[in-house]
């Protein structure tokens, strides 16, 4: 049986590099809409939608709707994930 840290490290190995850029952007800049996130993380919008759904499914980010915008932010688990990946760095 895997520990949570082992699970998260294996998950990070399977995520595309764009996912880590998205996570880092949210960690450094805080919550933002997808347009801002795309520009900050330097991820194409078409790829961003796919990455956001992967991160959301893992519970690493939260996506809330404000009007027509989708606001993405790190969850506490996502924050732990970023710290773990940085240590393994």
The CATH code of the domain that includes 82 is: 1.10.10.10
Euclidean distance between CA atoms 54 and 89, whole angstroms: 21
Beta sheet of 32-33, edge-to-edge order: 32-33, 69-74, 61-66
Can you tell me which residue has the tokens 């759904």? Answer: 53
The encoded tokens of residue 44 equal: 């194409």
Query: Model pTM?
Result: 0.90
Percent of the chain with pLDDT over 70: 99
pLDDT band at 17 (very low <50, low <70, confident <90, very high): very high
Domain boundaries, position 19 = 4-88
62 alpha carbon, distance to own chain's centre: 9
How many domains, in total, are found in the chain? 1
Which tokens sit at 64? 């809330």
| Closest to 80 (Cα-Cα) out of 3, 2, 5 | 5
């Amino acid at each position: 049986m895997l520990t949570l840290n082992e699970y998260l490290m294996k998950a990070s190995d399977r995520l595309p590099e764009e996912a880590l850029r998205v996570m880092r952007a949210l960690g450094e800049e805080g919550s933002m809409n997808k347009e801002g996130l795309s520009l900050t993380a330097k991820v194409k919008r078409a790829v961003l939608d796919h990455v956001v759904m992967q991160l959301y499914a893992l519970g690493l980010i939260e996506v809330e709707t404000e009007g027509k915008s989708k606001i993405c932010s790190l969850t506490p688990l996502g924050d732990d994930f970023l710290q773990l990946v940085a240590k393994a760095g």
